[in-house]
Amino acid sequence: MGHPMASGWSTLRAMRREDELKNTRIARGTAMRVLAFARPYRRDIAIFLVAVVVDAVLGVATPVLAGSVVNAISRGGPGAGTTVVRLAVLIAGLAIADALLSMVNRWYSARIGEGIILSLRTQVYDHVQRMPLQFFTRTQTGALVSRLNNDVMGAQQAFTSTLSGVVSNAIQLVLTAGVMLTLSWPVTVLSLLLLPLFILPARRVGRRLAAITRESYQLDAQMNATMTERFGVAGALLVKLFGKPDTEAGRFADRARRVRDIGIQQAMFSRTFFVAMLLVASLAQALTYGLGGWFAVHGRISAGTVVTLALLLTRLYGPLTALSNVRVDVMSALVSFERVFEVLDLAPAIAERPDARPLPTGAARVELRDVEFRYPSAAEVSLASLEDVAALDRTITDPVLRGVSFSVEPGQMVALVGPSGAGKSTTAMLVPRVYDVTSGAVLVNGQDVREATLDSLRDTIGVVTQDAHLFHESIAENLRYAKPGATDDELWAALAAAQIDGLVRSLPDGLSTVVGERGYRFSGGEKQRIAIARLLLKAPSIVILDEATAHLDSESEAAVQQALATALSGRTALVIAHRLSTVREADQIVVLDRGKVVERGTHEELVAADGLYAELYHTQFALVDSPPKPFTESDQEPVVLVAHEDYADPAEASAS
């Protein structure tokens, strides 16, 4: 820490960020919240600071002893040899103590820093998991991950390098300057006059570095975004179908070349900075030797004092340059903390009440009672910094559900049908509290779901969506996500009930087969059946199927339908369906239009009523379930190969 180079990197980083932080205002109370994170580490921080102080004292003591060795040699005499040996042994002892203290400092620094990282990361991760679905549909995933990585690491700096640096540098500066002034104030003052020759040009270099570093970060972010999009399975497929490899490579190469050019500039600016720092330190040391030596020749100070002054000077420039940027270091750490607190302060829309009680087990009855729902504004569920916008939209939207009421008796299957945007998926997602009603109530066995514990709600309800998501893990791990303690026999039983065990047994790794990103190693029908197996393993009382057979070919649909028959047996089911076969099997059909229930009844009753359902039946359902008409040469339209796909509701699919 004593040598100018030791604080060079931190000084350079601080100068880069000085312009960025110039107009930054830290919210009141941030510092107190930061101290709250330090409270569990009070004892460790105290030991750490004591070790830092002692280490700083040893750093000043060693040059003084070195000067005493020179003086002992200069004086000579009978006892000079013994004195020199004793001083050398003492210097060696101080070196050993300094090494041990550096290990102690590092251990406590790592313990404190990593402990704070653990606390921050776990708090942010847990908090983000509780955010509403709209938060994730609006937020840039990379920006959110950055809060868990870069900003948390920046916050850690406050208790490690910044705290120890300020304390150590301040003590070392005071002790070193005090000793130097005591030994020879003229040499000390003249040596310090060279400092502005370094600081002023260095600030200009720092500002230039800040500009090109920002551009470098932006280009890196763009390249990362490009790679993330193009290297994903869906992105890679799109590039293969529509993209031009040469064009893609050229665009990426242009950005990469600019990053290379910036890297060269950064390297040269950094080298210039350090060369200037070393040059000024060397000139100051030369001045000390020259002026101090002249004083020593004329008997005003001893030769040992000159050596002490020269050695102490090397320990003076580092703390001076570091402390000149202490405000930037502290502000950088506080900004990182504030960005983390910004996420923690965003209240989850779905929260468990303090007096929440578990839902009763067994057969379940679902009731929606005069439900109204509107999607919250962006300002209610998101952060501008995570969306990369200047300000969030605060517009209050119109309700998407208006006075929806119906019930599903234990063991019944109720189908929700309606045109696109009618509110079918939104209605279904109110039951497991993916969203909360704006007014009215959703009840399970007569208990408002908002008064139930979240764990019991999750245990009672199982959901299969049209695009079943699988984590990039093994089949077994994906299944045990529903029941962590499930045995292999239970996994195989669930797979057999879902009509997928034969395929899994045929795989070389069986249950240990990794499914790939988002399960892309399997077809849509296979993924759906694995998702149904996961639901069967959970064994919920209520099953919600959100277009679970959408986008499947007829063969896959038949297998999935057979698996669903097992999944729905004896369970209360709420089904969003676009297949006539599924709708016909429903005990009751609820028809939604523009957020309202407009019809309800059995298939036969609704067809006879000749209302909206009858219209959907004669268009949507009949078209979906009838075989496609083959094209002939007399057809005027171009022949298009299309994968068979059901009527879908993109807005609802993205919302749910």
Measured between alpha carbons, how far is 108 from 120 in angstroms, rounded to an integer?
18
> Measured in Å, how far apart are the chain's first and last C-alpha atoms?
55
Domain boundaries in the chain? 4-344, 366-637+647-655
Q: Please report the pLDDT score of residue 252 as a whole number.
A: 82
> How confident is the model at residue 616, as a pLDDT?
84
pLDDT of 541 above 70: yes
Q: Residue 20 — pLDDT band, cuts 50, 70, 90? A: low
The residue ranking higher by pLDDT, 605 or 237, is 605
Under DSSP, the state recorded for 162 is: I
pLDDT category of residue 471 using cuts at 50, 70 and 90: confident
Confidence of residue 588 (pLDDT cuts 50, 70, 90): very high
3-state class of 23 per DSSP?
coil
The 10 Å CB-count burial string (b at 16+, else e) for 201-224 is ebeebbebbbebbeebeebeeebe
Residues 32 and 144: their CA atoms lie apart, in Å, by 24
- The CA-atom distances, in angstroms, between 555 and each of 305, 399, 560 are 93, 39, 9
**What's the average model confidence in pLDDT over 322-341?**
74
pLDDT for res 535: 86
Percent of the chain with pLDDT over 90: 11
Largest CA distance in the chain: 124
Percentage of the chain with pLDDT > 70?
A: 79
Mean pLDDT across 268-275: 74
Q: Which of the four pLDDT bands, split at 50, 70 and 90, describes residue 655?
A: very low
pLDDT at residue 141, rounded to an integer = 72
3 state DSSP class of 381: helix
245-297 and 185-192 helices, crossing angle to 10°: 160
Quick check: helix, strand or coil at residue 400? Answer: coil
Q: What is the mean predicted confidence (pLDDT) over 601-618?
A: 88
- Over residues 261-286, the mean pLDDT reads 78
Helices (H) and strands (E) in the chain, counts: 28, 10
Whether residue 487 is predicted with pLDDT greater than 80 in this model: the reply is: yes
Cβ-proximal residues to 84 (8 Å cutoff; 6+ apart), any chain: 69, 72, 73
- C-alpha torsion 586→588→591→592, nearest 10: -100
Segment 30-52 shows an average pLDDT of 82
What are 60-107's pLDDT values in tens digits?
888 888 888 888 888 877 888 888 899 899 989 999 998 998 898 888
Q: What is the pLDDT of residue 375?
A: 84
For 4-344, the fitting CATH number among 3.40.50.150, 1.10.1200.10, 2.60.40.1580, 1.20.1560.10 is 1.20.1560.10
Average pLDDT of the chain? 78
Crossing angle of helices 488-497/554-568, nearest 10°?
120
Contact residues for 249 (Cβ-Cβ < 8 A; gap 6+): none
Q: Give the CB-side neighbour count of residue 554, counting CA atoms within 13 A.
A: 5
Bridge partner residues of 367 (DSSP):
407, 443
Angle between helices 303-323 and 8-21 (to 10 degrees): 30
Orientation angle between helical segments 42-75 and 303-323, nearest 10 degrees: 150
Q: What is the mean pLDDT of residues 520-542?
A: 85
**What is the model's pLDDT at position 490?**
92
- String of DSSP letters for 430-470: HTTTSS--SEEEEEETTEEGGGB-HHHHHHHEEEEESS---
Phi, psi of 377 (to 5 degrees): -70, 165
What distance in Å separates the CA atoms of residue 214 and residue 149, rounded to the nearest whole number?
18
Q: Which residues contact 193 (CB under 8 A, 6 or more apart)?
A: none
**Residue 391: per-residue pLDDT:** 64
Per DSSP, what are the bridge partners of residue 372? Answer: 439
Nearest Cα to Cα of residue 160 among 283, 336, 4, 281? 336
pLDDT on residue 656 = 33
Average pLDDT over residues 27-56: 81
Indicate the DSSP class of residue 26: P
Mean pLDDT, residues 628-646: 39
Q: Is the pLDDT of residue 598 over 90?
A: yes
Tell me the pLDDT tens digit for each residue of 156-189: 766 667 777 777 788 888 888 888 888 888 888 8
Question: What pLDDT is recorded for position 549?
Answer: 65
Residue 61: C-alpha distances to residues 453, 565, 645 (Å): 63, 83, 81
CA distance 156 to 120: 9
Stretch among 144-153, 370-379, 436-445, 527-536 having the lowest mean pLDDT: 144-153
pLDDT of residue 179: 86
Q: Which CATH architecture fits 366-637+647-655?
A: 3-Layer(aba) Sandwich (3.40)
pLDDT tens-place string over residues 357-413: 998 877 788 999 999 998 887 777 777 767 666 566 677 778 889 999 999 999 888
Neighbouring-strand partners of residue 414:
574, 588
Could you read off the pLDDT of 124-143 as tens digits, one per residue? 888 888 887 878 877 777 67
Task: List Cβ neighbours of 197 (8 Å cut-off, separation of 6 or more).
Answer: 280
CA-nearest of 555, 347, 572 to 444 is: 572
Helix (H) or strand (E) holding 428, with range, is: helix 424-430
Task: Compare 443 and 9 and report the one with higher pLDDT.
Answer: 443
Q: Around Cβ 149, how many Cβ atoms within 10 Å?
A: 12
DSSP SS3 for 463: strand
Contact 258, 208 (CB under 8 A): no
Residue 356, φ and ψ in degrees, nearest 5: -60, 145
> Given pLDDT bands bounded at 50, 70 and 90, which one contains residue 621?
low
Q: What is the mean pLDDT of residues 469-497?
A: 89
